[in-house]
Structure 1
Amino acid sequence: MGRTAGSARHVRDAEFTEYVASRAGWLRKVAYLLCSDWHRADDLVQESITKLYANWSRVGQVQNRDGYARTVLVNTYLAEQRSPWWRRIRTVGSEPDAGAVVAADLDASLDLRQALSSLPPRQRAAVVLRYYCDLTVEQTADVLGCSTGNVKSQTSRGLAALRRRVVPARAGGAEA
């Protein structure tokens, strides 16, 4: 019986390792869009992967593993934003490090990333899920654990804030 359990664990670990190897880059990009810092994104992905491993037997029964992983990542990010520890660290620290952004990015991309990082966490999560992850309103509501009306409201406010921050900056740059 011990060999069977060990063999099943080995198969489970191999399956998990293969999944993580194939999706880690994608999870990191989503995490970066949520937190605007590559180091924090790595931490979020690591914590999310740890949670996935702990629940991998449950994940194996889910039809959409990517959706499950994305939900774990977003929930980990939002939980971090709510924690008293994070609020204290955030007030001590500075704005996200613009030097961490790849130098080859265009100015518009940099403007958008900076504007995205200035959104409140739930608005940022709604915008990233809707427009980067290409989820429907219903799927986004499911990931965020809220109503579809709340997703529409958060997305609308987030997009309006992005427009206010990006469009004037680009118009001002064109005149200079």
Structure 2
Amino acid sequence: MNAAGLDEALVAAAQAGSTDAFSRLVERHQQAVRSFLRRTCGDWAAADDLAQETFLAAWSRIRRLEQGASVRAWLCGIGYNKHLTAVRSASRARTRDAAWEAGRPVIGVGRSDDRLTLERVMGELPAEQRACVALCLAADFSHAEAADALGLPLGTVKSHVSRGRTRLLQALGGSDG
């Protein structure tokens, strides 16, 4: 049986629900799909991830593959669409991150001795207080979001943040006014 005939038989079996047949299709075409995506992405790790996504999507869409269609071309098409989606998603993330950075207030900690002092004082805070300060002051979580993330009561989070902020400001020679 030639390669096209074998692919057609495997597709028919996979469309009937055979995971073994689909596995054989993956084995037959994974190198070609990975190679295509590696050249397209320029990033081997991302290409390997996209190849996995491609085969997962292909399994869910195998019944849509028309008889006689090229399996390799179909798989590369799915892979290319996965790549385009990843590129668009990364672009949106960069735009969102840039907008967030542009709107973020500048923190007055610029000197390295201030940073070292902050790191030292953060390390001296009790673990729960340090986590609350890290989320609310450094990561811009609301008190409620931090309470949800840490599984702590809202009032406890507010107290931890207030006490932690006071200790940090004292260490930097400021006041909590």
Return the TM-score normalized by structure 2.
0.41
Structure of greater relative contact order (alpha carbons < 8 Å, 6+ residues apart): 1
